[in-house]
Structure 1
Amino acid sequence: MRVFVAGGAGVLGRRLVPQLVARGHEVTATTTTAAKLGMLEQMGAAAVVMDGLDAESVRAAVEKAEPEVIVHQMTAIAGKPDIRHFDRWFATTNRLRTEGTDHLLAASGDAHVVAQSYGAWNGLRSGGWVKTEDDPLDPTSIGAGAVAIRHLEEVVTRAGGAVLRYGSFYGPGATDDQVALIRKRQYPVIGDGGGYCSWVHLDDAASATVLAVEQKAAGVFNIVDDEPAPAREWLPYLAKCAGAKPPMRIPLWLARPLAGPTAVAMMTQGRAFSNAKAKRELGWQPHYSSWRQGFKEELM
């Protein structure tokens, strides 16, 4: 099929485009800077510069590509992680999930849409620790980001498309900033570290996306590995794999002013996600069934 990957030069796009090309699809991939056109072309895609926040730029790029499927992978997460000021850190990504999504849908015509969402620790903070697609996301978990995600999911599913709630990414280029903080012992376990998180390797996220594209899937799918885990388990293990000292532990009263409410919620109240629906309906099987295997292979 003709597949248009908006955000093809991003951390997931760089793993997704080669998989689509290898499966025989004709891929057009976008980047916001001309400096990355050559990289996308080397992957086998037709490369184009596009500003996802400019409706005319999006319309022109999509019309030229004439895609049968549009994959929305546009984000703008750059620089040192700033969980304390989450809304500021994710401001442009939130716009891409609202305005950018609207621009893509307006330009899509008859093309099927598959869009990136997020499902790592932001399940509703009540009830069980592991959520399915039938459970709502927590509307207060990540500030303005939760509002943006809700908008994306509502408009894409209303249009008959697929929403992929990826877990926390790891793999080439995905956790470098976190690992750097861990090695400096600047990534502590907060409180009891009992908040759960779901992870997914970039290559597994890409393979699930390929299946959603090829099946023109509709609805919401959690794209996560088989082992949701609390922070008190995955964070020390990640530090070990990175050759770092065990993370420090800080109490809640100190974490609230230092790390901010998002970090506290993630570490102490986070709800993770089940991948049963993606396995059952997409036929997806993650290569890295657990972050334990993946962290070890990536960092040791």
Structure 2
Amino acid sequence: MNLLVFGYGYTSRAFVRAERARFADVTATVRSAEKAAQIAADGVRGLEFFHEHVDPALPDAIAQADALLVSVPPDSEGDPVLRVFADAIAAAPRLRWIGYLSTIGVYGDRGGGWVDETDPPNPVSERAARRVQAEEQWLELGRRAGKLVHIFRLSGIYGPGQNALVNLREGVARRLVKPGQVFNRIHVDDIAGVLAASLDRPAGGVYNVTDDEPAPPQDVVAYAAKVLGVEPPPEQDFETAELSPMARSFYGENKRVANTRVREELGYRLKYPTYREALQALAGAGDGR
């Protein structure tokens, strides 16, 4: 099986590293020749794809791909991968699995209520609306071309080098308190596990890739401090805290997201069902020390 990845970032790299042995060939797009050379260490052939620059080898990579993972966000003009390669992807003779990495942000604000894959999107930000449009475009391509498209709606991603333990060590962790506010999270290793499970049981459709316990963000920081044996930062009132418009906008959406299809249809069991198991493991591996 050959894998083609559009956008070789934190999440897609974790998947490739975990599952490299199942693929005969892995090709991934990057933004520069320097990055293409760097990812060779992962056993990955790097091809440039950024704005108007397209590596001439990409059309052949699409034609040879059995699986396609898309980790490139939409821009103001839509999905950049579909804008350039929609026809080539639809015509790819070997392609049997397409995975598109999206976000639970497409559900918008639900006042702290639960949502699952049966709930329709209700985006409240422009970036989430772009995601909804991109999801629809990918699903439409699948219907038109007769290919299985899987939409993976990811919650807040964390993992090695990118977590509350590291934030505490670097002095940037904050305990913002907004009564009733919760967020879902997902460890990058569990994203990789869900993608692998989908490859084993391709069915198409939407999957929420998220943990089992939506939790107040200040509780996660406090637990990370406990794991490290340090004092947590003081609590701050969200209403009076100095935040960027982007950071404040995240707190405008409050929901609890269920991972029903991942559990029931893929049969996947999370390695890290809550932030507690994950932070303990990450600290054991040296994060935050």
Instruction: Normalising by structure 1, report the TM-score.
Output: 0.78
Q: Which runs of 5+ in 1 are unaligned?
A: 76-92
2:273 is aligned to 289
Greater mean alpha carbon deviation, residues 232-241 or residues 217-226: 232-241
Question: Retained in 1: the 8 A contact 2:108–2:253?
Answer: no
2:101 is aligned to 116
C-alpha change, 1:16 and 1:185, in structure 2 (3 Å) is closer
1:127-276 → structure 2 map (5 Å cutoff): 129-140=113-124, 143-160=125-142, 161-175=149-163, 179-180=166-167, 183-184=170-171, 187-192=174-179, 194-241=180-227, 244-255=230-241, 258-260=242-244, 262-264=246-248, 266-267=250-251, 269-276=253-260
Q: In structure 1, how many angstroms separate the alpha carbons of the residues matched to 2:152 and 2:252?
A: 25
User: Shift of the alpha carbon at 1:103?
Assistant: 3.0
**Aligned-residue CA RMSD (Å):** 3.0
Greater mean alpha carbon deviation, residues 124-133 or residues 155-164: 124-133
Write the letter of the residue equivalent to 1:15: A
Q: Which runs of 5+ in 2 are unaligned?
A: 143-148, 285-289
Question: Retained in 1: the 8 A contact 2:123–2:129?
Answer: yes
Q: In structure 2, how many angstroms separate the alpha carbons of the residues matched to 1:228 and 1:260?
A: 23
Question: Retained in 1: the 8 A contact 2:174–2:236?
Answer: no
C-alpha change, 1:152 and 1:240, in structure 2 (3 Å) is farther
**Structure label with greater radius of gyration:** 2
Question: Retained in 2: the 8 A contact 1:62–1:107?
Answer: yes
Q: In structure 2, how many angstroms separate the alpha carbons of the residues matched to 1:138 and 1:232?
A: 26
User: Shift of the alpha carbon at 1:99?
Assistant: 2.4
User: Does residue 1:44 correspond to 2:32, yes or no?
Assistant: no
Write the letter of the residue equivalent to 2:221: L
Deviations 1:245-278 (A, max 9, x none): 32333334313xx215554454475213111211
Write the letter of the residue equivalent to 1:246: P
Which of 233, 258, 263 aligns to 1:279? It is 263
Q: In structure 2, how many angstroms separate the alpha carbons of the residues matched to 1:268 and 1:182?
A: 28
Amino-acid identity (%)? 24
Question: Retained in 1: the 8 A contact 2:174–2:218?
Answer: no
User: Shift of the alpha carbon at 1:299?
Assistant: 2.5
1:61 is aligned to 58
SS class of match (1:197): coil
Q: In structure 1, how many angstroms separate the alpha carbons of the residues matched to 2:217 and 2:190?
A: 22
1:26 is aligned to 25
Write the letter of the residue equivalent to 1:116: L
C-alpha change, 1:29 and 1:269, in structure 2 (3 Å) is closer
Write the letter of the residue equivalent to 2:188: L
User: Shift of the alpha carbon at 1:239?
Assistant: 3.8
User: Shift of the alpha carbon at 1:197?
Assistant: 1.3
Instruction: Normalising by structure 2, report the TM-score.
Output: 0.80
Write the letter of the residue equivalent to 1:61: L
Deviations 1:141-191 (A, max 9, x none): xx3311221122111122231110112111123338x83367525523133
Q: In structure 2, how many angstroms separate the alpha carbons of the residues matched to 1:17 and 1:289?
A: 22
C-alpha change, 1:122 and 1:139, in structure 2 (3 Å) is closer
Q: In structure 2, how many angstroms separate the alpha carbons of the residues matched to 1:22 and 1:29?
A: 16
SS class of match (2:79): helix
